[in-house]
Amino acid sequence: MATIKPDAVADPRPGSRGYLKWYWTKGPGLAKWVASPTPYRALKAHLIKYVPATYVDKVVAQWFHDAKGYWPAERNGKNPVGPG
């Protein structure tokens, strides 16, 4: 299993330190969660398989921010597609 670092630089080279970040924030994995009605929960459901439970919330929040440009709680429940 690759080492997960929320601050790693996204890198499309398989096996690199930032590959998983690239995959989920810029690569093919992005489409698996970004358009979900609950994108934070969708990303977390995918990453929980790879990231220890004690560390997953930090990684998900950072990668959510990196991909979408705002923090998960920044909208304070004002999600245009439903409660958040």
* Residue-level pLDDT at 22: 92
* Residue-level pLDDT at 9: 82
* Residue-level pLDDT at 74: 81
Q: Provide φ and ψ at 77, rounded to 5°.
A: 80, 5
Among 8, 24, 7, 28, which Cα is nearest to 16's?
Answer: 8
Report the SS3 class of residue 66. helix
Distance CA 23, CA 12 (A): 7
Among 39, 35, 6, 38, which Cα is nearest to 21's?
Answer: 6
From the first residue on, what is the mean pLDDT of each consecutive set of 10 residues in the chain (84 residues)? 62 86 94 94 94 91 93 72 50
pTM over 0.85: no
* Residue-level pLDDT at 81: 55
Estimate the share of the chain in helix, then strand, then coil, as percent rounded to the nearest 5: 45, 0, 55
